[in-house]
């Protein structure tokens, strides 16, 4: 089967290679990959690709072509989507093995490219809001305010929509006209510019403090600002490794702020007893898409899955200026 392999190099170097098609055992399903999406994590793992010849790719939509002997919730021919396990071989290949406990049945009403845009960000945003910040998705926190830093990226695009479904007032950050417009289209009540100080912009909106902050961008750059704008007894979720040590005291201590991490690879890597929640989350997401309550977040279809298009997708993600998700569909 074909696979695209990146090299550990200063520039972005990849080649199409031919490798043996794996076969499914245990709880694994073998999926024929029809479309993939690009994530910043690809660019973060890329420099670490070394002797293990790992294949990258952490979002896919495809069709099950083989089931391991212990698979009991999915079947041959199921149309599925998933992010998978960051420690295993990824979706930049014609076929991929993935544990069924990480796999959802994808909506039939959308294209493979649209479906591929969903899993990693949907699972992370869901876990961040509902499993870590413990926001009640059935409206129990309705009217409370959430600030999403990085509103127009893949993460923000899902986060805005899920938070609105839970009844929150959402303030998203974006720095350009087109990214601000994207946030508003997805339901953000207000958009402020992350290049300018956040507190005065919130005050202009009549918001003195926010109950929740989902920092979906640079943890260190917004640390001090988050201490200023979070409400007493408010909650902050972080998803990006900080650049250095963080000062946990000060405003965070005096306000008794809850600070929590979200890493979507935690459940798969540690094989936690609730690892199957990721498949369950994807099934909830499918229902929301099929009922018209959640949009997929394709920003750009980059073409078919080949070296040139995938390298271009890596370059675009590294610019930090993409809107929504970059996807590739079909093999040349
Ligand atoms: N912990 C986890 O499990 C997990 C999961 C998913 C993602 N992540 C991490 O979360 C980060 C965001 O992921 P993503 O997929 O949303 O990335 P993305 O799609 O590449 O984000 C692009 C967006 O970032 C915004 N942006 C650029 N510079 C910014 C800044 N200084 N402050 C705020 N926003 C800024 C841009 O908006 P403007 O053009 O408007 O400036 C752009 O639309 C990445 O570092 C990723 O690795 C972690």
Residue pLDDT tens, the chain, 332 long:
999 999 877 788 899 999 999 999 999 999 999 999 999 999 999 988 876 678 999 999 999 999 999 999 999 999 999 999 999 999 999 999 999 999 999 999 999 999 999 999 999 999 999 999 999 999 999 999 999 999 999 999 999 999 999 999 999 999 999 999 999 999 999 999 999 999 999 999 999 999 999 999 999 999 999 999 999 999 999 999 999 999 999 999 999 999 999 999 999 999 999 999 999 999 999 999 999 999 999 999 999 999 999 999 999 999 999 999 999 999 98
Q: Tokens 């303030």, residue?
A: 171
Going from the Cα of 39 to the center of ligand 1, the distance in angstroms, rounded, reads: 9
Does the Cβ of 160 fall within 6 Å of ligand 1? no
Indicate if 100 and 156 belong to the same structural domain: no
Which one of 217, 236, 261 terminates a domain?
261
Mark whether 102 and 150 lie in a shared domain: no
Residue 187 located in a structural domain: yes
| Residue 25 main-chain phi, psi, to 5 deg | -135, 160
Same domain, 134 and 247: yes
My answer on whether 76 and 135 are in the same domain is no
CA distance 73 to 312: 37
Ligand 1 centroid to Cα of residue 154, in Å, is 7
Residues 220 and 106 in one domain: no
Q: Residue 179: CB within 6 Å of ligand 1?
A: yes
* Pocket lining: 103 vs ligand 1, CB cutoff 6 Å: no
Beta-carbon contacts of residue 108 (< 8 Å; ≥ 6 apart):
79, 290
Domain coverage including residue 76: 2-118+271-329
Q: Is the distance from the beta carbon of residue 174 to the nearest atom of ligand 1 less than 6 Å?
A: yes
Same-domain check for residues 253 and 281: no
Residue 216 CB–ligand 1 contact under 6 Å: yes
On whether residue 8 sits in a domain, the answer given is yes
Rounded CA-CA distance 131/167 in Å is 16
Whether residue 105 is found in the same domain as residue 146: no
pLDDT at 51 (0 to 100): 62
Ligand 1 centroid to residue 75 C-alpha, Å: 35
The answer, yes or no, to whether any atom of ligand 1 lies below 6 A from the CB of 298, is: no
How far does the centroid of ligand 1 lie from the alpha carbon of residue 134, in Å?
22
The Cα 34–Cα 234 span in angstroms is 42
- Tell me the CA distances in angstroms from 229 to 34, 170, 191, one per residue in order: 43, 14, 15
- Angle subtended at Cα 283 by Cα 278 and Cα 288, rounded to the nearest 5 degrees: 125
**H or E, element range at 63:** strand 60-67
Q: 203 CB contacts (<8 Å, ≥6 apart)?
A: none
Which atom of ligand 1 is found nearest the CA of 323? 43
Tell how far the Cα of 217 is from the centroid of ligand 1, in angstroms: 5
Shared domain for 219 and 305, answered yes or no, is no
Q: Are residues 289 and 307 in the same domain?
A: yes
From the CB of 266, is ligand 1 less than 6 Å away? Answer: no
Same domain, residue pair 136 and 93: no
Structural domains in the chain (count): 2
Give the list of residues 6+ apart from residue 124 with CB closer than 8 angstroms, or none: 155, 158, 239, 262, 264
Nearest CA to ligand 1 atom 26: 150
Give the CATH number for residue 230: 3.40.50.720
| Ligand 1, atom nearest to 222 Cα | 32
Q: Ligand 1: which residue has its CA nearest to atom 27?
A: 320
Per the listing, tokens 């080949």 go with 306
For residue 52, the model assigns a pLDDT of: 67
218 CB less than 6 Å from ligand 1?
Answer: yes
Alpha helices in 19-175 (DSSP H): 40-45, 112-116, 119-126, 154-165
Q: Please report, for the domain that includes residue 285, its CATH number.
A: 3.90.180.10
What's the whole-model pTM score? 0.97
3-state secondary structure of 270: helix
Q: Domain ends where: 211, 243, 261?
A: 261
Does residue 266 sit within a domain?
no
| 316 Cα: distance to centroid of ligand 1 (angstroms) | 12
Would you call 28 helix, strand, or coil by DSSP? strand
Q: Which of 261, 291, 313 is the last residue of a domain?
A: 261
Q: Report how far residue 187's alpha carbon sits from residue 170's, in angstroms, rounded to the nearest whole number.
A: 8
The answer on 256 and 151 residing in a single domain is yes
Same domain, 313 and 187: no
User: Of the candidates 37, 318, 284, which has an alpha carbon nearest to the alpha carbon of residue 161?
Assistant: 284
Closest approach atom of ligand 1 to CA 176: 40
Kindly state if the Cβ of 157 falls inside 6 Å of ligand 1. no
């Amino acid at each position: 089967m074909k696979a695209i392999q990146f090299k550990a190099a200063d520039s972005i170097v990849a080649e199409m290679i031919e490798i043996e098609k794996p076969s499914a055992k245990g709880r694994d399903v073998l999926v024929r990959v029809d479309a993939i999406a690009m994530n910043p994590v690809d660019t973060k793992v890329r420099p670490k690709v070394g002797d293990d010849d790992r294949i990258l790719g952490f979002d896919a939509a495809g069709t099950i072509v083989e089931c391991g002997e212990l698979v009991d919730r999915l079947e041959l021919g199921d149309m599925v989507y998933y992010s998978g396990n960051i420690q295993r071989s990824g979706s930049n290949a014609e076929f991929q093995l993935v544990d069924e406990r990480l796999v959802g049945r994808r909506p039939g009403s959308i294209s493979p490219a649209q479906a591929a845009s969903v899993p990693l960000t949907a699972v992370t945003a869901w876990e961040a809001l509902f499993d870590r910040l413990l926001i009640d998705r059935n409206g129990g926190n309705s009217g409370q305010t959430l600030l999403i830093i990085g509103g127009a990226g893949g993460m923000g695009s899902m986060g805005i929509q899920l938070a609105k479904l839970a009844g929150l007032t959402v303030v998203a950050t974006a720095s350009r006209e087109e990214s601000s417009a994207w946030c508003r289209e997805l339901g953000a009540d207000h958009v402020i510019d992350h290049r300018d100080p956040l507190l005065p912009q919130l005050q202009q909106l009549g918001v003195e403090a926010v109950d929740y902050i989902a920092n979906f961008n640079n943890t260190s750059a917004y640390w001090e600002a988050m201490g200023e704008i979070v409400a007493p007894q408010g909650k902050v979720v972080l998803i990006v490794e900080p650049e250095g040590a963080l000062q946990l005291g000060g405003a965070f201590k005096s306000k008794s702020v809850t600070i929590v991490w979200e890493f979507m690879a935690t459940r798969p890597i540690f094989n936690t007893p609730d690892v199957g929640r990721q498949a369950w989350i994807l099934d909830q997401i499918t229902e929301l898409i099929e009922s018209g309550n959640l949009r997929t977040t394709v920003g750009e279809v980059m073409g078919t899955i080949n070296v040139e298009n995938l390298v271009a997708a890596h370059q675009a993600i590294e610019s930090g200026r993409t809107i929504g998700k970059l996807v590739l569909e079909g093999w040349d």
